[in-house]
Chains A and B, each alone.
Chain A
Amino acid sequence: MINRSFHMKNDIEDVDRMVMSLKSVVKDILDSTTMFRFEICLSETLTNSVKHADTHDKEMPIEVTLIETASALVVDVFDPVGAGFFDLRDHAKDLDSVDLMAESGRGLGLIVQCADAVTYGALKGRNRLALDFLKTVT
């Protein structure tokens, strides 16, 4: 069972490296469809964290943990220390409601649509976004 923590720089240039690292860890437990949703969610979540987490100390890393259970993979993304409370579920737009010609505004909706469950709240003194991905029963 996977139970690992990862850290990435609070830097947009580090997002793709982190997503690819996380994919390599979970490649044997998610089917291709779920892996696709996992990749979208992680890319959008980490990009959102870097761009919008309101922290004064950009040197503080973003922590991601992967926890595998019997039925699911749970991804915890901790906001960088000092970032304000931001529950993306309150801001995500249904993708059907986004103007087709809009150049932004789809990322949060993608996260909500592509994860099997999304929760957010304080954990051990930090704000944490939890993304659940159900494992395929074989």
Chain B
Amino acid sequence: MIYTTEYSSEITIIRPGVERLTAVNAKAFKDEMTALIDDGSAHLIVDFKDVTFLDSSGLGALVGILKRVGNRGDLAVSGLRPDVEQMFRICRMDRVFTIYNDVETAAQTMSESL
């Protein structure tokens, strides 16, 4: 489901691999992300540029992933389309996640902070 790209030895970029991240696939998304974290990836950027819709289950999965990362690293999101960004705002998730316009900016900023 997810597609991963190594931006550097420390930063991993993830694309969810679905257009709609909903109750249908949120658990699989969380499970795959959790496996990635448990394998040692700690600085993660989830690029939502290909995701057109996100429901509360998808957001819940993302929160669970953030908690899994914990103090070991960082999780940021990028490329939110207007409807997805609106969903983040309605659910106050813009207070929880660091949001970047695009994955390049996210990766550059995260690498400079390491």
Interface residues of A (CB under 8 A from B): 12-13, 15-16, 36, 39-40, 43-44, 47, 51, 95-96, 98, 100-104, 106-107, 110, 113-114
Question: Do residues B61 and A103 form an inter-chain contact, with CB atoms below 8 A?
Answer: yes
Q: A16-B24, A101-B96, A113-B90 are in contact. Are A43 and B64 (CB under 8 A)?
A: no
The answer for the CA separation of A98 and B90 in the assembled complex, in Å, is 12
Could you jot down 15 A-B contacts, CB within 8 Å? A13-B24, A40-B55, A43-B53, A47-B22, A51-B23, A95-B91, A96-B92, A100-B63, A100-B93, A100-B95, A100-B96, A101-B63, A106-B60, A107-B55, A110-B91
The answer for the CA separation of A103 and B64 in the assembled complex, in Å, is 6
Q: A36-B83, A43-B53 are in contact. Are A15 and B24 (CB under 8 A)?
A: yes
Residues of chain A with a CB closer than 8 A to B91's CB: 95, 98, 106, 110
Taking the closest CB of chain A, its distance from the CB of B69, in whole angstroms, is 12
On chain B, the number of residues with a Cβ less than 8 Å from chain A's Cβ atoms is 24
Taking the closest CB of chain A, its distance from the CB of B31, in whole angstroms, is 13
Q: A16-B22, A100-B95 are in contact. Are A106 and B56 (CB under 8 A)?
A: yes
Residues of chain B with a CB closer than 8 A to A110's CB: 56, 90-91
Q: A16-B24, A101-B96, A113-B90 are in contact. Are A47 and B55 (CB under 8 A)?
A: yes
Question: Is there a chain A Cβ closer than 8 Å to B108's Cβ?
Answer: no
Question: Do residues A12 and B63 form an inter-chain contact, with CB atoms below 8 A?
Answer: no
Instruction: Please classify the interface of chain A as helix (H, G, I), strand (E, B), loop, or mixed, using the class held by over half of its residues.
Output: helix
Question: Do residues A103 and B24 form an inter-chain contact, with CB atoms below 8 A?
Answer: no
User: How many Cβ-Cβ contacts under 8 Å join chain A to chain B?
Assistant: 63
Question: Is there a chain A Cβ closer than 8 Å to B72's Cβ?
Answer: no
The answer for the CA separation of A104 and B64 in the assembled complex, in Å, is 10
Question: Is there a chain A Cβ closer than 8 Å to B51's Cβ?
Answer: no
Question: Do residues A102 and B96 form an inter-chain contact, with CB atoms below 8 A?
Answer: no
Q: Mark B46-84, 1 if CB is under 8 A from A, else 0.
A: 000000010111011101101100000000000000010
Question: Is there a chain A Cβ closer than 8 Å to B20's Cβ?
Answer: yes
Question: Do residues A106 and B53 form an inter-chain contact, with CB atoms below 8 A?
Answer: no
The answer for the CA separation of A100 and B57 in the assembled complex, in Å, is 14
Question: Do residues A15 and B92 form an inter-chain contact, with CB atoms below 8 A?
Answer: no
Residues of chain B with a CB closer than 8 A to A15's CB: 22-24
Question: Is there a chain A Cβ closer than 8 Å to B87's Cβ?
Answer: yes
Residues of chain B with a CB closer than 8 A to A103's CB: 60-61, 63-64, 67
